[in-house]
Structure 1
Amino acid sequence: MNTVKSCLTHKSNQIVAVEPSSPVRIALELMRDKKVRSILVIENGALHGIVSQGDCAIKVLLKGLDASKVLAQEIMTKNPITVTLSDSLEQCMGVMVSKHIRHLPVVDGNKVLGVISIGDIVKNIIDQQGVQINYLETYIKGHGAS
């Protein structure tokens, strides 16, 4: 069973975040520059929320608001669902599907360790299937040569 810990080892340790008082424009620029679709809202090391591209589009841009004036704390999802290093990727996918979310902050107690996305989980599943296929091919070829 693959865990969040195994998934995070294949990602950079960089946490992309803004403070609650940061303008949404800063959040959008960070998402663009870091090529991510959501960022965490952290203050003094504590997780306060998460902001996605969808939040910015629906809660700010579609309403005609100025992304330089609206603050992250005004549109963030407060107290987001989190996971730990020992949670299975299957559990994470179940949460994401049932809650209709694409990103889960990873925490250890009060410390934020990173974020896993639905894309990370799918990539992990594909990688595992590739390993299994290679194993089966080797097994079949090894036994077919006798």
Structure 2
Amino acid sequence: MSNVATIFARKGGFNHLTIEPEQTVLEALQMMADKNVGSIVVQDSTGYLGIFTERNYSRNVILKNRHSHDTKVKDVMTTDLPQLKMLDSLEFCMKTMADCNVQYLPVSDEGKMLGVISIKDLIREQVHQQKDLVKYLQNYIQG
């Protein structure tokens, strides 16, 4: 059964973008565009503070008629997300995302930020599991 650790292993590690809370939304968006991702971890010298996502931008900047170049990430980021653990199952991750109505969740271990899991990561892992199951069944039937 797959878990968060399996997803990170397939992704090739714990890579995640970070930005400081005092930086602007425009800086965050540029970093996200450069790496083609939909979220960025907000942290300072003390550690993880929250996540800034494209949804934060659309709902807390655009719809509120703010400007990206003078709005700070700390003013529009999401801070109250539950944090996943490495041994959490895919099912738990999906339920947590659905319950919180989010597409990204932070992953931590003993208070240390390890990365972010996205709904896209979960879907990819489910597809991978289905392919493995089909291959197993084909081998079983063929004998």
TM-score (norm 2): 0.94
Residues in 2 aligned to 1:138 and 1:11: alpha-carbon distance in whole angstroms? 27
Task: Indicate the residue corresponding to 1:103 in structure 2.
Answer: 104
Q: Which runs of 5+ in 1 are unaligned?
A: none
Task: Indicate the residue corresponding to 2:62 in structure 1.
Answer: 61
Residues in 2 aligned to 1:6 and 1:45: alpha-carbon distance in whole angstroms? 28
The SS at the match of 1:116 is strand
Contact 1:85–1:106 (CA under 8 A) maintained in structure 2: yes
The SS at the match of 1:36 is coil
The SS at the match of 1:50 is strand
The SS at the match of 2:113 is strand
Spell out structure 1 runs of 4+ moving beyond 3 A. none
Contact 1:47–1:79 (CA under 8 A) maintained in structure 2: no
Q: Which runs of 5+ in 2 are unaligned?
A: none
Q: Following superposition of structure 1 onto structure 2, how do residues 33-112 of structure 1 map, counting pairs within 5 Å?
A: 33-112=34-113
The SS at the match of 1:77 is coil
Residues in 1 aligned to 2:82 and 2:38: alpha-carbon distance in whole angstroms? 17
The SS at the match of 2:15 is coil
RMSD after superposition? 1.2
The alignment covers a number of residue pairs equal to: 142
Residues in 2 aligned to 1:124 and 1:7: alpha-carbon distance in whole angstroms? 7
- What letter is aligned with 1:48? L
The SS at the match of 1:104 is strand
Q: Following superposition of structure 1 onto structure 2, how do residues 99-138 of structure 1 map, counting pairs within 5 Å?
A: 99-138=100-139
